Structure 1
Amino acid sequence: MGDSEPFSYPPIDPVNFDLIIVGTGLSESVIAAAAAAIGKTVLHLDPNSFYGSYFASLSLDEFTSYLNSHSVHPSTDTTATTLGNQHDDGNHVVVELIQQSLYSDVEVFSCASEKENFLRENSRKFNLDLGGPRTLFCADKCVDLLLKSGASQYIEFKGIDASFVYEADRKLANVPDSRAAIFNDKNLTRIEKRRLMEFFKLIQQHLAASSDNHNNSDADDRVDGCNISEEDLESRFVCFMEKMRLPPKIKSILMYAIAMADYDQENNEFCEDLLKTKDGIERLALYSSSVGKFPNVLGALIYPIYGEGELPQAFCRRAAVKGCIYVLRMPVIALLIDKVTGLYRGIKVASGQDLYSDQLILDPCFTIPSRLPSSPTDYSIERIHILSQNEVKRMVARGICVTESSIMTDVSNCLVVYPPRSLYPEQHRSVRALQIGSNLAVCPSGTFVLYFCGVCKDADEGKKLLQAAMNALLVLPVAGNPDNISSDQSESADIKPIVLWSAFYMQKMTAGKFDRISSTPAPDGNLNYNNLLDASEKLFHQLYPNEEYFPETRSPEESKDDNGISLES
């Protein structure tokens, strides 16, 4: 999969562009659409044969092949091209680009031999997300951006039916995300219901008062009635909830299943990202405003029909309408650096052609050699070292399982959150799982796909997190014998879904870099896309500081019904 035959392509014409983008991931595709919308000439390249890069949705065979061909052993360094580090082509210094895999520790299992033929014959009926689990909140930035850009006309969604919290006693508890849900929840005591209702009421009063104060520019007209002090807003969210006398169960639901915190907020030693009250309230407000936003969506979350890969494709289609040129199966192998100024001038593609642009954006896998030989030419090596400084922030452990039954009877699409310490005492990070059924066109009828992820510091921790999360809900095969299940699992085999196929892999998280040569961030461990979209908008404004991000203009032929999100009931 992904084998390229660049020499079969005719030369790209023209050769000069305002912006060249390499990789069709979500960030790159959004920026391509935004730049094309303001009239910039954009060339969008991808070495793969499909759109989406690390955000793609692939068939079962394609997914397995892509993971295996784009992964490295943790001790393996980057893979160099055959150019050598750099050479002189007359006007430019040609500096090789290196593709560094974001994936490692890949393990793929076909767990039930009698189902191998079924999986093989139905491979193309799967649309498996490389960057899952992912969803959109009904009221989040991605929905707003789809509408503003016009990309919403190229994508359809369905609602996620339910959200659950995994409890240490091996039960799945409903996430009470509305007044009606709280009232009808039989797992909450009367005291828990009352405290939760009072807390939600306080949050709503604070948000209403903050909104009124924001709208009143005259200080004398400011509205009193904000019951949360500035001191509380800057305090830790978990401490504020304790101050509000919320029971432990309610705190856990709010912190990890609604505010979506990654780390154990009650353990300072292991918490790498303390959530402040003001940020926790913002996340609760996003969740709350998402519930009921669309009449045919029961909860707060929606998911694209045909998978996550539809999102970057929607923005690519929008960019193409505005004149962006697309070429797939076209690897980029080198940068062209001006011999005198040391500034970026263009790229060299695998066909041998040189292409030029004012700006360049690369997807997060690209880097340059960390050690460049001294050059006889008078140019600044520091300018291109920016790509060798794309540090790894953390890792995300990702896993996918295909089953023949749902984890919950009569529920097809659902989210499950495992709070810290719910799986084992040393679990310092939360895990999220998303089950998607065939009604979203990601798998054959009668099967389900479950995505798992957790932020981790290394592969050992990530594997332990995923293994525990999967064992809690599913029947997994015994290592080395995919046709058998362990004895402790066999008792619950009639209840838990049996895994037919699974994949584990670790993915590096990298931050984006902004300069004449920029790179986008790698997929993160969040459930939604807000942080990635914030980074994309920041990069756009770095490139074009005086331009509007997706100006709201449309031509007559684009004025058909594209002003809403398409949802199937």
Structure 2
Amino acid sequence: MDEEFDVIVLGTGLTECILSGLLSVEGKKVLHIDKQDFYGGESASLNLSQVYSKFRPSGQKPELAGRDRDWCIDLIPKFLMSNGELTNILVHTDVTRYIEFKQIGGSYVYRNGRIAKVPANEMEAVRSSLMGIFEKRRMKGFLEFIAKYDEDDKSTHQGLDLDNNTMNEVYNYFRLENGTKDFIGHAMALWPNDDYLNEPAKPTYERIILYVQSVAKYGKSPYIYPLYGLGELPQGFARLSAIYGGTYMLGTPIDEILYDEKKNFAGVITKEGKAKAPIVIADPTYFPERVKKTGQKVIRAMCILDHPVANTSDLDSLQLIIPQNQVGRKHDIYVAVVSDVHCVVPKGYYLAIVSTIIETETPHVELEPAFKLLGSRVDTLMGIAELYEPQDDGTSSGIFISKSYDSTSHFESMTDDVKDLYFRVTGKPLVLKKRPSDQEEDDALNGL
């Protein structure tokens, strides 16, 4: 292969696969390479053998039911907001035709030593066990304000200016208790720490609206999740890219990266030959000298359970957030629980993935609050990941590098990275357009 392309993409993580799909749809000639022999990179779903060989290569493996492929264990625990940006990209590109989604059963928050369902609207706030009777009224007033707020109608502002008032000032206006601020900010607005309190309230308002609208879409929780695990997402975008002429090569290490005389990206050499392109999009592992550590590390624990999580009405799936304040930390602890209804474990098992930003020299101890809530575990596999980001925006060298996946249990920060990379690569913002219908696509393929 000695070919010219518009774009070369290295790594099949979700960020890379979305961009590869979007650029292929736009008529770009894309070559997509991964040194690993499976899709997904850091966002892959692995079968039982793959997971144990990665996290415990020489250790004991418990007796577990089911076949190897009955297990699809995500390397990162994330759900999709049903009204979030990633869902919008999936719908607009029609990748939803390749992937089936199931709703997550509930959204929970830890407070004062126990867990409770996060109220998603005024009615649930009134019934919530999280608050006393007077606080419920104040919370109801706050949610009504959020629902009715209209930027162009001052009569809905109650004298507040969300562009200038801090979120703390808004909370204090409604006289909300600290515990209530905790679950609104961390379990609804999904901020990972408390920095947002002293910043303008507008982004928090927008995040709460996204949460409430996502709940309203299907009911029980704002989250959806793909059957057979998150690894289905990169594969869906890879299929999209292939339909539009993208070329894929798995299990293909890069022998050499080519540069022109100005030290700009010019192509790659692999066992298949030389491929030239003026632009490369890559995950941080392909250009270690061009990324920097963010200073944060994530610990993730994959816990295999043989029982549902206590005090959650035996739900088949849920998200649980432990706000940092509640356990004397600087960062939240996230727990994502899925089960056999999502086709990721055999019947009778549950998979709970716990993650947080490491703050001490004994990171596994930092997950204890979550382990206590999960109860007995059949087995636990832990991994630690350093977080990386590119040193520059890539526009001068043609080398565009994605960020590592953070500890949050949703994809909103990842889709921000996708939109940012798309803008830097193409020079224009990502505007989602409708794809051709099945019939139009079939006609196009038959005409080839």
- Could you tell me the TM-score, scaled by structure 2's length? 0.90
Paired residue for 2:418?
A: 536
Partner SS state of residue 212, structure 2: helix
**Cα offset for 1:461?**
5.5
Paired residue for 1:118?
A: 64
Q: 1:286 to 1:323 in 2, by over 3 A?
A: same
My pick for the range that moved more, 239-248 or 158-167, is 239-248
Paired residue for 2:126?
A: 183
**Cα offset for 1:418?**
0.9
Paired residue for 1:65?
A: 53
Q: Is the 8 A contact 2:126 2:137 kept in 1?
A: no
Q: In the comparison of the two structures, how many residue pairs are matched?
A: 436
Q: 1:437 to 1:275 in 2, by over 3 A?
A: farther
Amino acid at match of 1:203: I
Name which one, 1 or 2, has greater alpha-carbon Rg.
1
Select 1:435's aligned residue among 314, 323, 337: 337
CA offset digits 1:287-337 (Å, max 9, x no partner): 11111213xx42211111111111111111111111101110001132112
Q: 1:327 to 1:68 in 2, by over 3 A?
A: farther
Paired residue for 2:164?
A: 234
Paired residue for 1:343?
A: 264
Q: 1:228 to 1:442 in 2, by over 3 A?
A: farther
Partner SS state of residue 64, structure 1: helix
Select 1:251's aligned residue among 181, 189, 194: 181
Paired residue for 2:249?
A: 327
CA offset digits 1:526-555 (Å, max 9, x no partner): 222122212212222222225865543416
Structure 2 gap ranges (5+): 443-448
Paired residue for 1:77?
A: none
- Distance in 2 between the 1:160 and 1:275 partners? 31
- Distance in 1 between the 2:196 and 2:130 partners? 32
**Cα offset for 1:272?**
9.2
Q: Is the 8 A contact 1:435 1:449 kept in 2?
A: yes
Kindly indicate whether residue 367 of structure 2 is the aligned counterpart of residue 466 of structure 1: yes
Q: Is the 8 A contact 2:400 2:425 kept in 1?
A: no
CA offset digits 1:215-267 (Å, max 9, x no partner): xxxxxxx654322533x54344234313321123322211221112222x2xx
- Distance in 1 between the 2:382 and 2:349 partners? 19
Select 2:394's aligned residue among 514, 518, 534: 514
Amino acid at match of 1:363: D
CA offset digits 1:454-500 (Å, max 9, x no partner): 12346x26323213321x223xxxxxxxxxxxxxxxxxxxxx3x211
Identity %: 23
My pick for the range that moved more, 446-455 or 250-259, is 250-259
Partner SS state of residue 230, structure 2: coil
- Could you tell me the TM-score, scaled by structure 1's length? 0.72
Aligned-residue RMSD, C-alpha: 2.5
CA offset digits 1:137-162 (Å, max 9, x no partner): 11111111111111111111111111
Kindly indicate whether residue 317 of structure 2 is the aligned counterpart of residue 395 of structure 1: no
**Cα offset for 1:177?**
1.0
- Distance in 2 between the 1:544 and 1:326 partners? 21
Structure 1 gap ranges (5+): 1-11, 70-106, 111-115, 214-221, 266-270, 369-386, 475-495, 561-569
1:55-454 aligned within 5 A: 55-67=43-55, 110=61, 116-118=62-64, 122-132=67-77, 134-169=78-113, 171-186=114-129, 188-206=131-149, 209-210=150-151, 213=152, 224-227=155-158, 229-230=160-161, 233-263=163-193, 265=194, 276-294=200-218, 297-338=219-260, 340-349=261-270, 351=271, 353-367=273-287, 387-408=289-310, 409-423=313-327, 426-454=328-356
- Distance in 1 between the 2:171 and 2:196 partners? 20
Partner SS state of residue 147, structure 2: helix
Q: Is the 8 A contact 1:108 1:503 kept in 2?
A: no
- Distance in 2 between the 1:272 and 1:251 partners? 11
CA offset digits 1:45-66 (Å, max 9, x no partner): 1111111111001112202223
Partner SS state of residue 257, structure 2: strand
Select 1:525's aligned residue among 396, 401, 407: 407
- Distance in 1 between the 2:231 and 2:64 partners? 24
Q: Is the 8 A contact 1:402 1:502 kept in 2?
A: yes
